[in-house]
Amino acid sequence: MDEIIENYISYITSKKGASVNTELSYRRDLKKFVQFAGDRGMTDVADIDEDCLKDYIDSLSQNGLSASTISRNIASIKTFYHYLTRMGIVPEDLSVSLKAPKVEKKAPEILSDEQINALLSAPSGDSPKEIRDKAMLELLYATGIRVSELINLKINDLNMQMSVILCRSSRNDRIVPFGREARKALSRYLMETRDQLLTEGDSEVLFVNMSGDPMSRQGFWKLIKAYAKKAGVKGDITPHTLRHSFAAHLVKNGADLHSVQEMLGHSDISTTQMYARLVSSRLRDVYDRADPRKVN
């Protein structure tokens, strides 16, 4: 079954444009599932029956996995079975009866203006590292791009004259503008720091680590958490927190949802509408607390 899984991963990569993260999570989920089936003597995908599928999902729940993790596993299995039936590997889709548990959607963490200013001011030194870090944080908040998009930016994707970046993705490329503070931080990084970090010749990558290699996701996650701690910003601050904050602040300040959708690269406007609901809810809370005519 390992070969079938690898063929499936190749299929979703080449035909569906799946991201690296999607490939990793699907492969991991499916490997665990086929191991479960194999432990029950089902070593061929055609041997797996509906009871095995349901028993596997039940085992995830019994092992204490969260509803969101179980839902992701079900999604992995469903897309796998769609592929199997499409390719004629199995006669019917046994996954149709699987139902994902209800997942309580947690409101995204949104930083206040004061918290954003504190976080972006945290790398305030003149060292090459802090100059680079300042540029990365400013650009991330100024554009709302994903951390994977940030670390994969090429030097040629940056247009300083027009203050825009070309953000490339497997689905569609998009042009995203950035403001004065990000431009200022980027200019300093490009003029004073980037060449110092490139230990071996040149690189097409915009942001490099202290060894001159491309910045990793893990490296940037550690970086943002360290600056959040330094700035005294509480909570589980991640790169995605800046993306959520960027979108919510735009909506709060009157940006239309379609423009925000385009900048974020959302394929569905309903995803972007979450920020309008969130801002509206927070404004209502502020009003209720501050209403001078409210009866105590």
Domains of the chain, with CATH numbers? 2-97 (1.10.150.130), 113-289 (1.10.443.10)
Mean pLDDT on 170-181: 84
- Tell me if residue 176 falls in helix, strand or coil: strand
pLDDT tens-digit readout, 240-279: 889 889 888 888 888 888 888 888 887 777 777 777 777 6
The beta-strand segments (E) located in the chain are: 158-159, 164-167, 174-177
Taking Cα atoms as reference points, which of 33, 37, 61 lies closest to residue 49?
37
Q: Which of 262, 75, 239 is nearest to 146 (CA)?
A: 239
Summarize pLDDT for 57-88 with one digit per residue, the tens. Answer: 889 888 888 888 888 899 899 999 999 998 99
pTM for the structure as a whole? 0.63
C-alpha–C-alpha distance, residues 283 and 288, integer Å: 9
In the three-class reduction of DSSP (H, G, I as helix; E, B as strand; rest coil), residue 208 is classed as strand
